[in-house]
């Protein structure tokens, strides 16, 4: 790590880092070799991201994001690097963190900091605060750094994935309004304990108006994923959302592409990189059969695993049956399954009592959200109590040995997103669809945020179709053109949009 510059700010928790460090960036390795590696992969990725390339060509001269100050909290991968540099190419100032402690690709972070015109010796890129293997305290420290511009101001837009940046701003301001921040010892998770700790530390150094001043200029957020969208809708219902939000996750070209086809590619990639296990013939259980679960099932079936699913929703369960999948309960399948994959977006899906019943060396991983789909907190507590032994096989791959049974399970990425913790996430092409939506959402918020009120909005259908259209040339696809008479017959414009908003793709 690069040493922090001198600061009057006290170190935050166990990070050894000043709370307000005033550093231009913080990454794992800014060596020339790492920057060169990252830059080459960014160049290769751009060719595989035709949507972002097209937006640069269409809007680069107009600079539609001029004046935008975008704080991004999204996995700091090569694909995200292309997104960041697209936002910059359209005129934005950008500062960035990863939204996951294990998902950063360190060469990507280094290359973005150096920038296309800079170098390791003379960085000329974007401030990035991210490295693979952060502690929770370091993660929230990074989030705070990216929210504060060098002149002490904050962003006017947020690009979020999972809602953590949005959460910190909202909680900070709400606790300033109430006058009281809960004691960290009352937190119901280790992570929320850190969140409360950083809010206490900020108040101690900056007083009780810091978050008011930081939140006031923020005109909107575009949210990448299911969990963050759920948080936003909760705030709308509670009347506590501070600024408009665009729900990128539910654009068809995000949810049906990133969530389904991205997981189809990256799940088995992660399991095989982590364990080298033969997947063919193994019994695999995917918990949840939404878009992520559907992609995960396809991924495992592609390696000839014997796949079953769990579901709470009768419609999703019926879809699974129509695909020839067994729909079972975890309780019935837990002792006879080789690979478990959580994909629900809910919590406490695989609990400690389930893990104790699993067969020896069963593989357990999550591709849904956070680290609480698998009950990691109770498992780690059992380790501290001496009932379970935790053995690191390699980074992000751990054996947990239960002393009372003598059996072990293998947990990947400590229950966090396995495809980003143990592999490189989704491939460039499918992320091009997601990130083209993100750029368009940021442009819309920058231009028209005041028109949306404090609401959550999905991008209109014609923009969804535009995202798809921008990617078709890569496949050599040729669209059929409606005649005027055909368009009138089905009641759509000749150039689209071609489906009503309620259509399910």
Residue 471 annotated to the active site? no
- Of 85, 93, 138, 161, which one is the catalytic site residue? 161
- Of 145, 434, 437, 442, which one is the catalytic site residue? 434
User: To which H or E segment does residue 209 belong?
Assistant: none
Any idea which residue has 């401030």 for tokens? 127
- Of 254, 265, 398, 466, which one is the catalytic site residue? 254
Residue 255 annotated to the active site? no
Residue 79 annotated to the active site? no
Residue 387 annotated to the active site? no
- Of 69, 398, 426, 471, which one is the catalytic site residue? 426
Alpha-carbon distance 283 to 258, whole Å?
25
Q: Are 399 and 391 in contact (CB under 8 A)?
A: yes
Q: State whether the Cα torsion 24-27-29-34 is positive or negative.
A: negative
Alpha-carbon distance 123 to 117, whole Å?
8
Q: Are 435 and 82 in contact (CB under 8 A)?
A: yes
Any idea which residue has 């060098």 for tokens? 150
Q: 3-state class of 142 per DSSP? A: helix
- Of 369, 398, 446, 466, which one is the catalytic site residue? 369
Distance of CA 46 to the CA centre of its chain: 20
- Of 85, 223, 224, 269, which one is the catalytic site residue? 224
Beta bridge mates, 398: 392, 411
Q: 3-state class of 363 per DSSP? A: strand
- Of 26, 75, 354, 398, which one is the catalytic site residue? 75
- Of 197, 249, 251, 319, which one is the catalytic site residue? 249
Residue 75 annotated to the active site? yes
Alpha-carbon distance 39 to 148, whole Å?
26
Residue 98 annotated to the active site? yes
Residue 263 annotated to the active site? yes
Q: State whether the Cα torsion 48-51-57-60 is positive or negative.
A: negative
Residue 366 annotated to the active site? no
- Of 222, 259, 296, 366, which one is the catalytic site residue? 259
Residue 316 annotated to the active site? no
Residue 326 annotated to the active site? no
- Of 95, 100, 266, 438, which one is the catalytic site residue? 438
Residue 298 annotated to the active site? no
Q: 3-state class of 117 per DSSP? A: coil
- Of 103, 145, 251, 396, which one is the catalytic site residue? 103
- Of 85, 93, 258, 311, which one is the catalytic site residue? 258
From residue 100, alpha-carbon distances to 75, 414, 417, 418 in Å are: 6, 12, 8, 11
Residue 360 annotated to the active site? no
Surface-to-core class of residue 326, CB atoms within 10 Å of its CB (0-12 exposed, 13-18 middle, 19+ buried): middle
Active-site residue set: 75, 98, 103, 161, 224, 249, 254, 258-259, 263, 369, 426, 434, 438
């Amino acid at each position: 790590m690069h040493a922090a510059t001198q600061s009057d700010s006290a170190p935050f928790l166990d990070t050894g880092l000043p709370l307000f460090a005033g550093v231009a960036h913080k990454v794992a390795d800014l060596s020339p070799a790492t920057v060169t590696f990252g830059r080459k992969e960014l160049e290769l990725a751009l060719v595989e991201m035709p949507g972002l390339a097209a937006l640069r060509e269409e809007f680069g001269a107009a600079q539609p994001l001029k004046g935008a100050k975008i704080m991004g909290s999204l996995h700091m991968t090569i694909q995200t690097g292309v997104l960041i540099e697209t936002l910059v190419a359209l005129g934005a100032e950008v500062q960035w963190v990863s939204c996951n402690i294990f998902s950063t690709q360190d060469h990507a972070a280094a290359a973005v900091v150096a920038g296309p015109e800079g170098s390791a010796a003379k960085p000329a890129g974007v401030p990035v605060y991210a490295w693979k293997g952060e502690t929770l305290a370091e993660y929230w420290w990074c989030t705070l750094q990216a929210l504060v511009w060098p002149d002490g101001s904050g962003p006017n837009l947020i690009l979020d994935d999972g809602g953590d940046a949005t959460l910190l701003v909202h909680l900070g301001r709400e606790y300033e309004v109430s006058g009281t921040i809960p004691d960290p010892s009352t937190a119901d998770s280790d992570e929320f304990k850190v969140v409360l700790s950083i809010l206490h530390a900020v108040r101690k150094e900056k007083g009780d108006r810091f978050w008011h001043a930081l939140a006031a200029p923020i005109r909107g957020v575009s949210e990448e994923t299911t969990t963050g969208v759920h948080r936003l809708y909760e705030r709308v219902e509670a009347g506590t959302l501070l600024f408009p939000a665009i729900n990128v996750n539910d654009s068809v070209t995000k949810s049906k592409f990133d969530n389904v086809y991205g997981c189809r590619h990256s799940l088995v990639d992660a399991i095989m990189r982590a364990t080298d296990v033969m997947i063919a013939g193994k019994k695999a259980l995917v918990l949840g059969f939404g878009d992520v679960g559907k992609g995960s099932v396809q991924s495992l079936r592609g390696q000839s695993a014997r796949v079953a699913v769990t579901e709470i929703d009768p419609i999703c369960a019926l879809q699974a049956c129509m695909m020839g999948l067994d729909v079972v309960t975890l309780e019935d399948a837990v002792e006879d399954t080789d690979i478990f994959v959580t994909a629900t977006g809910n919590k406490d899906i695989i609990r400690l009592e389930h893990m104790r019943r699993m067969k020896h060396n069963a593989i357990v991983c999550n591709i849904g959200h956070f680290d609480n789909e698998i009950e990691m907190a109770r498992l780690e507590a059992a380790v501290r109590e001496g009932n379970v032994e935790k053995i690191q096989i390699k980074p992000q791959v751990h054996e947990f040995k239960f002393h009372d049974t003598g059996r072990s399970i293998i947990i990947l990425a400590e229950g966090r997103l396995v495809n980003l913790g143990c592999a490189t996430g989704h491939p460039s092409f499918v992320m091009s669809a997601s990130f083209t939506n993100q750029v368009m959402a940021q442009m819309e918020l920058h231009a028209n945020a005041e028109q949306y009120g404090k609401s959550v909005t999905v991008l209109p259908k014609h923009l969804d179709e535009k995202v798809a259209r921008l990617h078709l040339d890569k496949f050599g696809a040729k669209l059929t053109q409606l005649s005027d008479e055909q368009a009138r017959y089905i009641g759509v414009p000749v150039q689209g949009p071609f489906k009503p908003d309620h259509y399910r793709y």
